[in-house]
Amino acid sequence: MATTPRSMMDPAALDAVDAGCPARRLLGRLAERWTGLVLVVLADGREKRFSEVAREIGNISPKMLSQTLRGLERDGLVERRANGGPGGRPVYRVSPLGAEMMEPLGALSGWAYANREALDRAREQYDATPRSEAPAPIA
């Protein structure tokens, strides 16, 4: 598979390898295990309580959901507000900035779905290869 040389990429993307670059920080946030799922759950724009988000995702600890929501709120991708109901429990929703980001995230999800069979084959091939073998040289 051919790769695009860095010099031919969009100049705005060239700084993503710099540890201080905002793009790198965002890419790091998006690479976290639960971030994409939380954003997908909130993508419909409706306010949801913590327990609703947890229930829709399933198999996420309260600690991890709390950390993920807090990080997304810090990055401006999720909004949190105190619910006026009993206990004042907070509700969450995707922010306008987060909603804008759903377009490229949706494109990535679409790509993953379209390539699911090739990805499954690659995983099966990798899993069937003994790890003691040296990797093939890159040409």
Per the CB < 8 A criterion, the answer to whether 90 and 80 are in contact is: yes
Separation in Å, CA 118 to CA 2, 8, 121, 125, 136: 17, 27, 5, 10, 20
pLDDT value at residue 47: 96
pLDDT value at residue 11: 54
| Domain-located, residue 10 | no
| Domain-located, residue 98 | yes
| CA 105, chain centre distance (Å) | 8
Tokens of 25: 């920080």
pTM attached to this predicted model: 0.75
pLDDT value at residue 124: 96
| Domain-located, residue 2 | no
Instruction: Determine the structural domain holding residue 100 and report its residue range.
Output: 22-127
pLDDT value at residue 5: 45
Collapsing DSSP to helix, strand or coil, 35 comes out as helix
| Domain-located, residue 40 | yes
| Domain-located, residue 70 | yes
| Domain-located, residue 30 | yes
| Domain-located, residue 7 | no
**CATH number of the domain residue 86 falls in:** 1.10.10.10
pLDDT value at residue 10: 59
How many structural domains are present in the chain? 1
Residue 27, CA atoms < 13 Å, CB-side half-sphere: 11
pLDDT per residue of the chain (139 residues) written in tens, 0 to 9: 445 544 445 555 557 778 878 788 888 888 889 999 999 999 999 999 999 999 999 999 999 999 999 999 999 999 999 876 667 789 999 999 999 999 999 899 899 999 999 999 999 999 998 877 666 778 6
| Domain-located, residue 35 | yes
